[in-house]
């Protein structure tokens, strides 16, 4: 009845939205299934940002952003399927949640791989070569020119991937020998290297401030 509706309390969904608007989500999640989780948490701490280790779909609630760390993309992908996090993270992302994938995280963020099939999040319109640099050299460091950064950034590459091809909506931020190693879209950032293994906090700062808007 119309009369009843006018006196009805605001629905829960409205209350939640206003919570977000007044306080805003402030915590950044780090997917903690496998890989270098602690290193990301430490850098976020240096930036004064609180983090949450994400192991279940419920942990994604209220996050301002999510980091998918380096490790082994096949292992992380398999656990994500089993735990429901593959769909959970997709849904977080497609509702506007910012995601940053480093190394294995960059592989998972891609829409397709050149090699064997594996579970992917498919958040970015890109074809990834999983161990692109790994076949030539196991690991290396390289000074990179990054779009939007004033000074070069030293990238640590460990069996690193690269994007063989990118589609519309993908903005390339850095390359090594013509291969894409850093890129972003509206609410997605990817790096083939490991900023969490250096003392340089600029990529974390970039993600937190420019992509997550904290």
Of 39 and 64, which has the nearer Cβ to ligand GLN? 39
Q: Give me the least distance between CB of 61 and ligand GLN, in Å please.
A: 27
Rounded Cα distance, 28 and 63, in Å: 6
142 in contact with ligand GLN (CB under 6 A): no
Q: Which of 98, 101, 155, 161 binds ligand GLN (CB under 6 A)?
A: 161
The minimum distance between CB 78 and ligand GLN, in angstroms, equals 11
Residues 6+ positions from 97 with CB-CB distance below 8 Å: 60, 63, 65, 66, 187
Of residues 61-100, which lie at the interface with ligand GLN (CB under 6 A)?
70-73
Q: What is the CB neighbour count within 10 angstroms for residue 12?
A: 8
Nearer to ligand GLN, 109 or 208 (CB): 109
Compute the distance between CA of residue 58 and CA of residue 27 in angstroms, rounded to an integer. Answer: 14
Q: How far is the CB of 79 from ligand GLN (least distance, A)?
A: 13
Does the footprint of ligand GLN cover residue 159 (CB under 6 A)? Answer: yes
Phi, psi of 188 (to 5 degrees): -140, 140
Measured from the CB atom, is 77 or 88 closer to ligand GLN?
A: 77
Is 127 among the residues that bind ligand GLN (CB under 6 A)? no
Binding positions for ligand GLN, 12-31, rule CB under 6 A: none
Minimum CB distance to ligand GLN, residue 176 (Å): 15
Q: Which of 39, 40, 129, 196 is catalytic?
A: 196
Least distance to ligand GLN, CB of residue 52, Å: 21
Residues contacting 162, CB < 8 A, separation 6+: 128, 129, 132, 133, 176, 179, 180, 181, 192
What's the rounded Cα separation, in Å, for the pair 98 and 31?
13
Instruction: For residue 112, give the 3-state DSSP assignment.
Output: strand
Residue of 212, 198, 106 whose CA lies nearest to 160:
106
Q: Nearer Cβ to ligand GLN, position 111 or 131?
A: 131
Question: Is 194 annotated as catalytic?
Answer: yes
Three-state DSSP string of 133-178: CCCCCCEEEEEECCCCCCCCEEEEEECCCEEEEECCCCEEEEEECC
User: Active site residue: 103, 129, 204, 212, which one?
Assistant: 103
Active site members: 103, 194, 196
| Residues at the contact surface with ligand GLN, assessed by CB under 6 A | 70-73, 103-104, 107, 130-131, 134, 158-159, 161
């Amino acid at each position: 009845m119309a009369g009843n509706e006018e006196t009805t309390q605001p629905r829960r969904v409205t209350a939640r939205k206003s919570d977000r608007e007044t306080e805003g989500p402030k915590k950044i999640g780090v997917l903690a299934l496998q890989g270098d989780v602690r290193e990301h948490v430490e850098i976020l701490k240096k930036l004064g940002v609180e983090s949450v280790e994400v192991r279940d779909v419920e942990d994604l609630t209220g996050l301002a952003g999510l980091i998918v760390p380096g490790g082994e993309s096949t292992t992380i992908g398999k656990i994500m399927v089993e735990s429901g996090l593959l769909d959970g993270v997709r849904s977080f992302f497609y509702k506007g949640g910012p995601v940053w994938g480093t190394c294995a995280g960059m592989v998972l963020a891609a829409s397709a791989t050149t090699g064997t099939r594996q579970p992917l999040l498919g958040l970015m319109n890109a074809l990834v070569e999983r161990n692109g640099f790994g076949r030539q050299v196991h690991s290396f460091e390289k000074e990179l020119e990054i779009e939007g950064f004033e000074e070069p950034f030293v990238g640590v590459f460990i069996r690193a991937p690269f994007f063989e091809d990118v589609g519309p909506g993908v903005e390339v931020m850095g390359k090594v020998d013509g291969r894409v190693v850093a890129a972003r879209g509206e609410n997605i950032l990817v790096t083939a290297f490991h900023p969490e293994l250096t003392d340089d906090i600029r990529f974390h700062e970039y993600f937190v401030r420019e992509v997550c808007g904290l």
